């Protein structure tokens, strides 16, 4: 059912952002979407609302694509699938698995929309795995006049258009690279001494972060020990090494946050299973409608990893009281202009905070002050204290992206305070 509302969808998933939109539109067809965009003075899209800042906000029309018909078109010759932009990874992954196909990677939670994930440079983990936007082979966009624009990897400006912060139009469909389905076995190790993160042998630490297809380390930067999650592709053969810095395999399933039951976590203990039931940390049949948490994340050059670990350990006494858990991941370099891993193999330092914005703010500022000199770029969809314009200035192609915004959207219909800041912060 299509329609508009002024009541529903007013807040993001975490509930810390109330959208200022005059109108929320829920078009039921692409033609209706095109009319909505053409008629709106200011337009932004709300994906599944999993961002923690005002990136999706507008005082004009907020468009939800949740009521557009699903689309799922496999092209076996090109090894791609084209999906409706508002579909969630969990939905797409189950359909792909039924076709014997897979995506290269997923985020920790599979309930996020495909287009929203791509727009902010969302990533999983793995030294050889770039962010999810790198799998994008094409985009269909509705431009400011309701016109349709199709882009693929051969299109001019493609590298600038994939991680787009919602500023270039309304993405109605996304074409993604696919590969044959694969199996993953997940191992959780406990007892990694926290001190070893900063001071352990650098080669050994690099080897740990690359010990499986996808590796995460969970810590609060204060307690004595950290947890390691290894997601091993079974087609790589063998079993991953499990004795890093004295850590050992857990004898039961664990949640990343100590003391929380593992009920909602994907299967562990090395039991192989389909890629989409192991790569996310949380199960697709567990659908949290709201989150009692806030998140921040910073991506740094991988060579700065241990200096960053040392800086965070110094701040551990301030971080731990306002933190649920912190996660260390790796992301391979890509060439997408505003991707936080643009041009450099990265280590990603994530913080799941308690939902207490006032208490978190000074700690986040201290974390950011410690990590920025090491080359940290904030995740576009999470909380950070720099302005979006200051964050954009950390990218070689910031100016090129501003030109792209002007070209695709000369009247500024898709701009909001977040993306207007990209101009304010940047040298023209």
Ligand X SMILES: Cc1cc2nc3c(=O)[nH]c(=O)nc-3n(C[C@H](O)[C@H](O)[C@H](O)COP(=O)(O)OP(=O)(O)OC[C@H]3O[C@@H](n4cnc5c(N)ncnc54)[C@H](O)[C@@H]3O)c2cc1C
Q: How far is the CB of 386 from ligand X (least distance, A)?
A: 17
In terms of Cα–Cα distance, which of 180, 154, 174, 149 is closest to 82? 174
Q: How far is the CB of 363 from ligand X (least distance, A)?
A: 19
Alpha-carbon span 308 to 18, nearest angstrom = 33
- How far is it, in rounded angstroms, from Cα 144 to Cα 149? 10
Can residue 171 be called a binding residue for ligand X (CB under 6 A)? yes
State in angstroms the smallest separation of the CB of 238 from ligand X: 27
Select from 111-119, 237-245, 369-377, 393-401 the region that touches ligand X (CB under 6 A): 111-119
135 touching ligand X, by CB under 6 A: no
How far apart, in whole angstroms, are the C-alpha atoms of residue 3 and residue 229? 44
Q: Does 108 bind ligand X (CB under 6 A)?
A: yes
Alpha-carbon distance of 338 to 165, in angstroms, equals 9
- Pick the stretch among 163-171, 237-245, 300-308, 403-411 that binds ligand X (CB under 6 A): 163-171
C-alpha angle 413/419/364, rounded to 5°?
150
Across 85-210, where does the E strand assignment appear? 101-102, 136-142, 148-152, 170-177, 179-180, 183-193
Q: Which of residues 247-306 bind ligand X (CB under 6 A)?
A: 291, 295
CB nearer ligand X, residue 198 or residue 254: 254
Is 425 a binding residue for ligand X by CB under 6 A? The answer is no
Which one of residues 123, 231, 233, 278 is an interface residue with ligand X (CB under 6 A)? Answer: 123
Applying the rule CB under 6 A, the residues between 5 and 34 that interact with ligand X are: 13
Interaction between residue 165 and ligand X (CB under 6 A): yes
Q: Does 45 bind ligand X (CB under 6 A)?
A: yes
- For ligand X, which is the closer residue by CB, 198 or 308? 308
List all residues 6 or more positions away from 60 whose beta carbon is below 8 Å from its beta carbon.
21, 22, 23, 40, 41, 42, 43, 44
- Using CB under 6 A, count the residues that bind ligand X: 33
Task: Name the burial class of residue 268, with classes exposed (0-12), middle (13-18) and buried (19+) by CB atoms within 10 angstroms of its CB.
Answer: buried
Is 232 a binding residue for ligand X by CB under 6 A? The answer is no
Cα–Cα distance, 189 to 178 (Å, whole number): 30
The string over 205-244, giving b where at least 16 C-beta atoms fall within 10 Å of a residue's C-beta and e elsewhere, is bbebbebbbbbbbbbbbbeebbbbbbbbbbeeeeebebeb
Residue 336 sits in the site that holds ligand X (CB under 6 A): no
Residue 61, C-beta contacts closer than 8 angstroms, at least 6 positions apart: 21, 22, 23, 24, 25, 36, 40, 41, 42, 43, 44
**Smallest gap, in angstroms, from Cβ of residue 56 to ligand X?**
4
Q: Does 404 bind ligand X (CB under 6 A)?
A: no
SS3 45: strand
Distance CA 76, CA 71 (A): 16
Mark residue 375 as left, alpha or beta (left: phi above 0; alpha: psi -120 to 50; beta: remaining). left
Q: Where are the beta strands (DSSP E) in 223-317?
A: 225-233, 248-249, 272-274, 294-301
Tell me the window of 164-172, 186-194, 257-265, 368-376 that interacts with ligand X (CB under 6 A). Answer: 164-172
**The one among 21, 40, 48, 232 contacting ligand X by CB under 6 A:** 48
Q: In the set 138, 240, 378, 381, which binds ligand X (CB under 6 A)? A: 381
CA angle 314, 316, 321 (to 5 degrees): 155
- Residue closer to ligand X by CB (options 107, 205) is 107
144 binds ligand X (CB under 6 A): no
Tell me the pairing of strands 183-193 and 170-177. unpaired
Q: Where does this chain touch ligand X (CB under 6 A) — which range of 118-126, 249-257, 305-313, 360-368?
A: 118-126
Tell me if 46 contacts ligand X by CB under 6 A. yes
Query: Is residue 55 a contact residue for ligand X (CB under 6 A)?
Result: yes
Binding region for ligand X (CB under 6 A) out of 103-111, 184-192, 218-226, 268-276: 103-111
Candidates 27, 40, 49, 110; binder of ligand X (CB under 6 A) is: 49
Please tell me whether residue 44 binds ligand X under the rule CB under 6 A. Answer: yes
Smallest gap, in angstroms, from Cβ of residue 117 to ligand X? 5
**Subset of 68-97 contacting ligand X (CB under 6 A):** 85
3-state class of 327 per DSSP? strand
When CB distances to ligand X are compared, the closest residue is 116
Binding site for ligand X (CB under 6 A): 13, 44-51, 55-56, 65, 85, 107-109, 112-113, 115-117, 119-120, 122-123, 165-166, 170-171, 291, 295, 379, 381
């Amino acid at each position: 059912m299509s329609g508009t509302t002024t009541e529903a969808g007013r807040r993001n998933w975490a509930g810390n952002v109330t959208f200022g939109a005059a109108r929320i539109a829920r078009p039921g067809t692409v033609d209706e979407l095109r009319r909505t965009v053409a008629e709106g003075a200011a337009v932004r899209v709300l994906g599944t609302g999993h961002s923690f800042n005002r990136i999706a906000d507008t005082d004009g029309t907020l468009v939800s694509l949740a009521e557009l018909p699903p689309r799922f078109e496999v092209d076996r010759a090109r090894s791609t699938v084209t999906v409706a932009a508002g579909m969630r990874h969990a939905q797409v992954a189950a359909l792909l698995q039924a076709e014997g196909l897979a995506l290269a990677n997923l985020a920790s939670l599979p309930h996020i929309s495909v287009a929203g994930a791509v727009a902010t440079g969302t990533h999983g983990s793995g030294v050889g795995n770039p962010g999810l936007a790198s799998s994008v082979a094409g985009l269909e966009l509705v431009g400011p006049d309701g016109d349709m624009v199709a882009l693929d990897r051969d299109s001019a400006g493609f590298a600038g258009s994939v991680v787009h912060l919602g500023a270039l139009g309304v993405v109605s469909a996304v074409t993604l690279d696919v590969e044959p389905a694969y199996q993953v076995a997940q191992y959780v190790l406990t007892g990694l001494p926290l001190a070893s993160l900063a001071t352990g042998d650098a080669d050994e630490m690099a080897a740990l972060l690359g010990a499986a297809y996808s590796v995460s380390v969970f810590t609060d930067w204060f307690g004595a020990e950290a947890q390691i999650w290894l997601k091993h592709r079974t087609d790589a053969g063998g079993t991953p090494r499990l004795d890093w810095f004295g850590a050992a395999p857990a004898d039961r399933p664990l949640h990343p946050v100590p003391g929380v039951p593992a009920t909602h976590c994907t299967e562990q203990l090395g039991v192989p299973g389909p890629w989409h039931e192991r790569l996310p940390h949380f199960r697709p049949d567990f659908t949290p409608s709201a989150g009692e948490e806030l998140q921040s994340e910073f991506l740094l050059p991988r060579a700065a990893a241990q200096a960053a670990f040392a800086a965070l350990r110094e701040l551990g006494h301030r971080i731990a009281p306002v933190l649920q858990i912190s996660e260390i991941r790796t992301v391979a370099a890509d060439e997408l202009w505003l991707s936080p891993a643009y041009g450099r193999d990265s280590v990603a330092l994530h913080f799941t905070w308690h939902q207490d914005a006032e208490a978190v703010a000074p700690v986040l500022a201290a974390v950011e002050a410690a990590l920025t000199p090491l080359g940290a770029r904030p995740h576009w969809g999470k909380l950070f204290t720099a302005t979006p314009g200051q964050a954009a200035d950390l990218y070689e192609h910031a100016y090129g992206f501003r030109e792209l915004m002007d070209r695709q959207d000369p009247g500024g219909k898709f701009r909001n305070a977040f993306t207007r800041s990209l101009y304010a912060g940047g040298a023209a």
